[in-house]
Chains A and B, each alone.
Chain A
């Protein structure tokens, strides 16, 4: 009798648990949607004209008072200064969440925190994650839309490339000999000194590093195997250091060689005067990041003002200051609004730039998922 009852209770608990685990709470309807003068609510605005004009947008954004950004490290393409400048210029508080997060973390946060005050308002994502989540983006076309080449934006404005760079090798010339190609790194002077920024199966920068190694060793964006092989050779030579390079590891001399985006390597030169950055010849892997507005943004006007700021001359030049190539660079160079000094200081790139398409990235990613562990362990 007791056992039957126990079984009955357990079954009841089990079933109710199964049912409950499938439920989600009701989606939080935003209680009052801020509307602009033209009657369009801020979170459906598709351009600045929906706010009347720029002043209307600024006013709406200032009423919201806050902006939630996510995964923007302060020393990544000068985001620290960008956030500060925006915040001071428009008197809007910027909440910078998870500065160390990856692109997938941004999407995860948006889903998890949907409807809450902490949900991110804007995204800055790597290619794969961006293109896989376009249903989370609100279409918006900034004032300077026409300046942006077609291949760098979504026709509806769901996403726009914001800045990009080339994969590079950064090194401390006072600690290691000069580097020109990836093969140089296999030499005996580099024992335990070469670091890759992140895990290629997880992070975009590291993934592009492997693509660069592939192209430099006879492969291509379609064939990433030579890149994986290269890192295997690097590890076997004892030169590969499985440590995440950070400004402090570079300063302390723990990671004198870093394979990373050129703008990230450029940021390191601020603290280490002898730091040099080189993009290998004929292995120019370019990568742009994707800017988008969260369709459920809690501060929709501030989010749109943020994008206007980023794509204005001021914002684009701030990115250039961080060593990144802003997406409007060509248009601004023609118009003469670009900071010419900074532009000329960017590392030289020779050869045809390679930008892996989404299909190539997917194929390479599954190859990596199967083979990276074998090589690096």
Chain B
């Protein structure tokens, strides 16, 4: 053991900790402090502005968008995970799906927005196909508002769900099923009394993770929505870059502060839920 006591080995962690303090903690603290300032002095003006109509509306739409894509992504992702897990372990399908999902979960932002514009936009592939074949024109302003965002966000929520939930599904031992069958349980009973209760914490936790992921997402919405600031991240962009309503930098801080709080609450819930799961699925 080192002659200098227990402290010395920890010193080697200082560069890492210092780096995080500078590039992660200081920006966060700047935001938190700035939310309570206006023109350099302490003020609640921006916190009050968080309760204005526009800000509350944006918060509500963000929650709606995140919640709906979390639910849809969780359900469809769980379904896809189940389809994957019930195929043989070394099959091509499982490997293909897991690697594709790890790419698609990162496939957000500008790229995804353009992909959907290329598919469903004014001269998009699907729009034109439907127009020429069935005469149905699905193009509309819906794509550039919250409904469009819901569709597009689902595209990366489902793969994220698969990545997070698949290990939980794999943790369901086949021995449990065999044991249940051997004492006379039906498939329905197995699912409702054993599998679903086992999976519920992991499912809820994954859904919370999806919610936080959608809530914090900026790039896709920024690329897709140019008119209006329906959701919170776009309202932050407007506060930073507006040339009409000026001097709202501190409002941007306040909105960002609001964002931290929501995401922190959700992630804490996630951590608590996941801790319960890991106890069982060891």
Contact = CB atoms under 8 A, between A and B. Distances in A.
The answer to whether any beta carbons of A and B sit under 8 Å apart in the complex is yes
Interface of A: 13-14, 16-18, 20-21, 102-105, 108, 125-126, 128-129, 132, 192, 196, 198-204, 207, 240-244, 249, 252-254, 361, 365-366, 368-370, 372-374, 376-377
Interface string B96-119: 000000000000000000000000
Contact of B243 (A17, A128, A368): A128
A126 B230 contact: no
Contact of B246 (A129, A241, A254): A129
A366 B58 CA distance: 17
21 contacts: A13-B25, A21-B29, A104-B242, A126-B244, A132-B247, A201-B244, A201-B245, A202-B238, A202-B245, A203-B244, A241-B141, A243-B144, A244-B226, A365-B244, A368-B245, A369-B54, A369-B245, A372-B228, A376-B227, A377-B57, A377-B145
Interface string B206-230: 0000000000000000000111111
B26 interface: yes
* Most A CB within 10 A of own CB, among B53, B57, B141, B242: B242
A20 B26 contact: yes
Contacts of A199: 226-229, 238
B15 to A, nearest CB: 14
A99 B228 CA distance: 21
Contacts of A243: 141, 144, 226-227
* Most A CB within 10 A of own CB, among B26, B29, B57, B243: B243
Given A21-B26, A199-B238, A366 B229 contact: no
A102 B241 contact: yes
Interface residues of B, number: 36
Contacts of A126: 243-244
B244 A202 contact: yes
Contact of B26 (A17, A132, A207, A365): A17
Contacts of B240: 104, 108
Contacts of B33: 18, 21
Given A243-B141, A249-B122, 9 more contacts: A20-B22, A104-B241, A201-B229, A201-B244, A202-B241, A242-B145, A242-B226, A368-B245, A370-B54
Contact of B238 (A129, A201, A254): A201
Contact of B229 (A129, A204, A254, A373): A373
B21 interface: yes
Interface of A is mostly: helix
A374 B53 contact: yes
Contacts of B25: 13, 17
A242 B57 CA distance: 18
A128 B227 contact: no
A202 B242 contact: yes
Contacts of A242: 141, 144-145, 225-228
A240 B245 CA distance: 23
Interface of B: 21-22, 25-27, 29-30, 33, 52-54, 57-58, 121-123, 139-141, 144-145, 225-230, 238, 240-247
A331 to B, nearest CB: 29
Nearest to A191: B140
5 A-B pairs with the lowest CB-CB distances in the bound complex, closest first: A242-B227, A103-B243, A254-B122, A244-B226, A202-B242
B274 to A, nearest CB: 24
A364 to B, nearest CB: 8
A121 B200 CA distance: 59
Nearest to A369: B245
Given A18-B33, A254-B122, A365 B245 contact: yes
A368 B53 CA distance: 12
Contacts of A200: 244
Given A17-B29, A21-B30, A373-B57, A366 B245 contact: yes
A18 B29 contact: yes
A200 B139 CA distance: 24
B244 A105 contact: no
B54 A128 contact: no
A377 B122 contact: no
Contacts of A374: 53, 57
Contacts of B227: 196, 198-199, 242-244, 376
B52 A370 contact: yes
A283 B149 CA distance: 36
A20 B23 CA distance: 12
Given A102-B241, A241-B141, A242-B141, A128 B122 contact: no
A373 B54 contact: yes
A298 B22 CA distance: 29
A90 B215 CA distance: 51
Contacts of B230: 373, 377
B215 to A, nearest CB: 19
A221 to B, nearest CB: 14
A361 B53 CA distance: 21
A104 B145 contact: no
B242 A201 contact: yes
Contacts of A196: 227
B239 to A, nearest CB: 10
A128 B238 contact: no
A39 to B, nearest CB: 38
Given A17-B25, A252-B123, A104 B243 contact: yes
Contacts of A254: 121-123
A200 B54 CA distance: 14
B201 to A, nearest CB: 29
Contacts of A370: 52-54
Contacts of A16: 21
Contacts of A13: 21, 25
Nearest to B243: A103
